[in-house]
A and B are shown apart, each in its own frame.
Chain A
């Protein structure tokens, strides 16, 4: 397949994943605002940070208000990571690699785009926000479903998956990076109302609230949350889960070669150094340092994939 096509598929799925993650962050922020625990402006600021768009927002808009933050995250074309921008970019990439998509996939992407155009071209009223976000989630899920159901399992599928899981791992890591301090074991009494809200925020941001309570019980705290989000292979948004998926697709791409690819070596390093320990070891190492390093290594891995598979000349 063409290097350009691999590139297009990779980014198509990165953008779709990013659109969905950002939509989820908006939902979480809105939820917190509604429960009126804590400082709303600070919460929105941390949502913007988790989405990786804080510096751009600050430069463009300055003061944080709920409306400004939601608008920036949801539909501002000046923000290349807004949900709307992501959907547009995903569709642009889909047009570029049209021949690598099944008709069903293309139609699902195109209809997600047309819906986004209808719903996001104007400011979204607060009462319409939940419905709007639900539609977005359903649209991106339809693309994922069509991909799962109709795409040949081969190189093309592998690049689509690599884009998805690199973006997702990066997203989860960034949420942890912004909120790591609420997970640190401190002398402060744990389980205060504020802490509970913060933990809740993190779990909601990765759509993992229900599963967590079920698996870790009512008394679980920050140590368990950290374990869940980083090391639990069962959670589809955990770093360990994403790494396992990346490994599978990199292996499949490298099938037939006697030696592991450079990208596989890099991923293997991440696995061995960062994902093969107990959660206590992570705290001992320093949660913040740990997360910062993982984010850098994931970016490096993405670059290695671009280079190795000739995305560009």
Chain B
């Protein structure tokens, strides 16, 4: 029998139990499957009761849905994660240096390492940020780097999320749920904690307060409101950090500061963790129809009166067209070779690449440059002839709107199904905090799992689920 072409994180490619899973496997073998099934149901009830839901886009009545949770953890050794986190740190350092450069001297363009039109023709480039010095020199305070794995030591960056990475609440709630459901597992395995994340987030944000902030900086989370798909996360993070959760209509400019309306008057905010997109952030400076933002916040920001996290205009760094230049970017700013490779990427804006992509659509994954959430992409091997033909037409109409990547043999992790354990493809989004004192990678992250057998799409909007992610103390 030929061995499975996919690398399984529990069984490798040769069906031999890998070390990180040894203790877990022992436990699992001794468990009664019916008890586990009952536990799985219990988890769902718990998620529903605590309200860990997301709202589905494009529905008339904002419908609240659960993201399916799988009780089998994804386990990484301390050493595996250490290597990974060094690569992530390097990349995040480069991203912040890149953002500073792009909004100042653009040395990378002058050096001929990045074509000017990658910036000039990019909707995510925000001219208003030109020449602005963000407090503490930090552009992207909270980053999520999407990692895929294809072998024991083969990790690739699939995507950088430098504007508003979401999902950290699931990382925390997944751990909380596992601790409640299977406390015995945590006494047998030494799992590095993730629970400090909210405290670290608050400290990290506070460390980026504008110069001259006296006392403890006032931090707040800005949400578009309860109908936003990630509202639960916004409320969760504000609650866990112990800061106010505000909406645009709670805020206004008062005495040169952005201030929130409290029961006893307006109170200035030092650091705003905003979960509102750039375009909606300030109706005075950007989209005048936005009801979600704060008129004049950009003026206050440019005058140095508030920290906006992440800084406006950071989207230029997680754009998929820029992504293909990340190896150059890392090298240019750190002077080091990238520790984490990119997934090979064809830029359809370039004629040769486009020709190749057109020839190989059935094998490739083609994505929109500005897309997210798994929308508007073609997964060649899973698509019908008609879907491929339709997509080819879209591609020809606007080639520069697309990039293509090979269909990766994403690693699998056993997942609890009606028939017992069964391998499912996963990715990983570790969460990174940046402040002037350093970069912190939380041990673990959000593992997303494609619950459909054979599927490679892990997005929650496309039938993906999540798992608790363990990094063991070695």
Binding site for B on A (CB under 8 A): 1-6, 92, 95-96, 98-99, 103, 106-107, 110-111, 114, 155, 253, 309-310, 313
Contacts and interface: CB of A to CB of B under 8 A. Distances in A.
Given A114-B48, A310-B261, 6 more contacts: A1-B263, A4-B249, A98-B51, A98-B235, A99-B245, A155-B263
Contact of B49 (A3, A98, A111, A253): A111
B142 interface: no
A99 B262 contact: no
A295 B74 CA distance: 61
Q: Does more than half of chain A's interface fall in helix, strand or loop, or is it mixed?
A: helix
B263 A99 contact: no
Contacts of B250: 2-4
Contacts, number: 59
A74 to B, nearest CB: 21
Interface size class of B (residues with CB under 8 A): 20 to 34
Interface of B: 48-51, 226, 231, 235-236, 238-239, 244-247, 249-250, 252, 260-265
Given A4-B261, A310-B263, A313-B249, A99 B238 contact: yes
A98 B262 contact: no
Contacts of B235: 95, 98-99
A3 to B, nearest CB: 5
B51 A106 contact: yes
Contacts of B48: 114
B262 A2 contact: yes
B239 A98 contact: yes
A107 B51 CA distance: 8
A4 B226 contact: no
Contacts of B49: 107, 110-111, 114
A111 B45 CA distance: 10
Contacts of A310: 261-263, 265
Given A98-B239, A106-B51, A6 B231 contact: no
Nearest to B221: A99
Contacts of B263: 1-3, 6, 155, 253, 309-310
Contacts of A92: 226
Contacts of A98: 51, 235-236, 239, 245
B261 A313 contact: yes
Contacts of A96: 226
B50 A103 contact: yes
Nearest to B235: A98
Nearest to B238: A99
Contacts of B246: 2, 4
Contacts of A106: 50-51
12 contacts: A2-B250, A2-B263, A3-B250, A4-B246, A95-B231, A98-B51, A98-B245, A103-B50, A107-B50, A110-B50, A111-B49, A155-B263
